[in-house]
Amino acid sequence: MTAGTAGAANAQRIREFKMPDVGEGLTEAEILKWYVRPGDTVTDGQVVCEVETAKAAVELPIPYDGVVHAVNFDEGTTVDVGTVIIAVDTDPGAGPVQGQPGAGEAPADAAEEDAEPQGRQAVLVGYGAAPSSTKRRARKPQPGAGPQPATRVPHASVGAPSEPVTAGLQAELNGRGAPAPAATAVAVAEPPAVPAAGRPLAKPPVRKLAKDLGIDLAMVVPTGPGGVITRDDVHAAVAPVEAAPAVAPTAPAVGVPAAAAAVGAFDAARERRVPVKGVRKATAQAMVASAFTAPHVTEFITVDVTRTMKLVQELKQDPDMAGLRVNPLLLVAKAFLVALKRHPEANAAWDEANQEIVYKDYINLGIAAATPRGLIVPNIKDAGTKALPQLAAELGELVATAREGKTTPAAMSGGTVTITNVGVFGVDTGTPILNPGESAILAFGAIKLQPWVHKGRVKARQVTTLALSFDHRLIDGELGSKLLADIAAVLERPKRLITWG
Which DSSP letter does residue 176 get? S
- What are the b/e assignments for 356-389, b being 16+ CB within 10 Å? eeeeeeebbbbbbbebebebbbbbbbebbebebb
Q: Are strands 228-229 and 201-202 parallel, antiparallel or unpaired?
A: parallel
- What are the b/e assignments for 106-130, b being 16+ CB within 10 Å? eeeeeeeeeeeeeeeeebbbbeeeb
The residues with which 466 forms a beta bridge, in sequence order, are 301, 444
Neighbour count for residue 476 (Cβ, 10 Å):
12
Name the H helices within 304-407: 306-316, 328-342, 388-403
Reduced to 3 states, what is the DSSP secondary structure of residue 467?
strand
Whose CA is closest to 91, among 11, 197, 176, 198? Answer: 11
Q: Where are the beta strands (DSSP E) in 90-169?
A: 158-159
Secondary structure tally for the chain: helices H, strands E: 12, 23
Which DSSP letter does residue 239 get? H
Residues 6+ apart with CB under 8 A from 103: none
Neighbouring C-alpha atoms within 13 Å toward the C-beta of 291: 9
Dist CA 419 CA 438 (whole Å): 11
DSSP of 253-278, one letter per residue?
PTT--HHHHTTT---GGG-------H
Dist CA 12 CA 434 (whole Å): 50
Phi, psi dihedral angles at 419 (to 5 degrees):
-120, 135
69 is catalytic: no
Dist CA 19 CA 73 (whole Å): 11
Phi-psi domain of 456 (left: phi exceeds 0; alpha: psi -120 through 50; beta: other): left
Catalytic residue among 69, 235, 343, 472: 472
The residues with which 396 forms a beta bridge, in sequence order, are none
Give 273: exposed, middle or buried? Use CB within 10 Å, 0-12, 13-18, 19+. Answer: exposed
Whose CA is closest to 305, among 325, 324, 331? Answer: 331
What is the chain's length?
A: 501
CA-based R_g, the chain, Å:
32
Catalytic residue numbers read: 472
